Each structure stands twice: as C-alpha cells, then as structure tokens.
Amino acid sequence: MRRAIGAAVLTVVLATVTACSGSSSSTPGAGAEATLKVASPDLVALKKHSDVPDCPRVTGGEVDGGMPSETLACLGGGRPVDVSGLRGPMIVNFWASWCGGCRDEMPALAAYAKSQSAVKVMGVDYLDPHPDYALQLATDSHVAYPLVTDLHGVLDTAGALPHFSAMPMTVFLAADGTIAHVEAHVYTSRQDVAAAAQRYLGVGG
C-alpha cells in the first residue's frame, strides 16, 4: 500500500495565517483523551435535538491512494465508521472546537452541505478534548452532515494522508475513494466551498 500519493494528486496548502496550528498548546496529547466519552448520555441527548444525522454505513474497502483502514467513533453516538470505505465525491473536513478557523468556517460548510446533494460532507472532530463543546458548536452552526471523532489523531500521516500541521484541514475524495486534494484553508462562504469542490472534484453543487 502506498504511504503517499504524488504531488500532482495530493497538494497540501498550509494557510498558516488563517488556519490553526496543529501543534497548538490547546491540543491534547494522544493519551490524554483515553477517558473521554464521545457517546455519553448528555451527548446522545444533544445530538437527538440537533440536525446532525447518524453516521453512514460504509461497505467499501481500502483503496490505493485513499483513506486508511481506521475505524472512528460517531460523535454523539451511532455506528462507527471505517473511513477506508468512504467514497466521493466527498469533502472530509478535519476540525476541532479549540480551533478558531474551524469555528469560523463551519457555518459555510453547513450551508454548502444543505444547498446541494452532489457532494457529500463529513466532519472529523480531531484531537478535541471537549467533544461536548464540539457537538454544541455543530448544533449552533446548523450542521446537518455526519460527524466522527479522532480522539487520538490516528489519521495523521495514515495511509495517503499527510501530517496535519494546520487546522482546519479538508480532504477531497474522488468517486473511487482516492484522495484528490488536501488543503489547510478556512472557507468563508458556501460559494467558497462550492468553488473548491468544483476545482478538485469536478462537481461543485
């Protein structure tokens, strides 16, 4: 299995001026979240009163140049997701409640996901010590796409994914499951997200 895909396919744009650093002192170490519960009764109740849907059932397997074979818990309860089975056109957005840029762009992603059906959207709450804050942020931002959580950062450099040196980080998945593009960028509007989807996936919605 290749550990990385070519630069012509995978381009990482580190917009450090507007993105949050992945090495922020607010980011917990991998072992610090061992006792955190992403499906506590309070989180399950909050999710039921939000627009966040259950996580999807995936049946595909790992593909060369695609997402790694790692299973992530569904934020707020629900079926876990083996991300290697994800197929596009899809936007997979890595975010956290501690990241200001992530908070700024979430309404734009939420509006884009609701405005069209050609491109699926999934959020990954990444290295977040406060899953309760994360789900509340998603609720307040009217997110209506599924959310999984990577408490320990297992996706960092896994498979064809790069090192997540800045947040938010967005992965564009092609229809066959291969990674078409990765970038650290704060999307400011629905139109901004649509333009990126058109550029990297060939369909904007």
Instruction: Give the percent of the chain with pLDDT over 70.
Output: 82
Residue 113: other Cβ atoms inside 10 A: 24
Is residue 45's pLDDT more than 50? Answer: yes
Is residue 29's pLDDT more than 70? Answer: no
Whether 108 and 26 have beta carbons less than 8 Å apart is answered as: no
* Domains: count for the chain: 1
Top-confidence range, 24-38, 158-172, 184-198: 184-198
Q: What is the pLDDT of residue 21?
A: 52
Domain membership of residue 7 (yes or no) is no
Residue ranges making up the domain that contains 136: 20-201
Whether 109 and 91 have beta carbons less than 8 Å apart is answered as: yes
Whether 75 and 134 have beta carbons less than 8 Å apart is answered as: yes
Q: What is the pLDDT of residues 82-140, one digit of tens each?
A: 999 999 999 999 999 999 999 999 999 999 999 999 999 999 999 999 999 999 999 99
Average pLDDT over residues 144-173: 93
CATH number for the domain including 197?
Answer: 3.40.30.10
Domain membership of residue 10 (yes or no) is no
Domain membership of residue 14 (yes or no) is no
Q: What is the pLDDT of residues 79-90, one digit of tens each?
A: 999 999 999 999
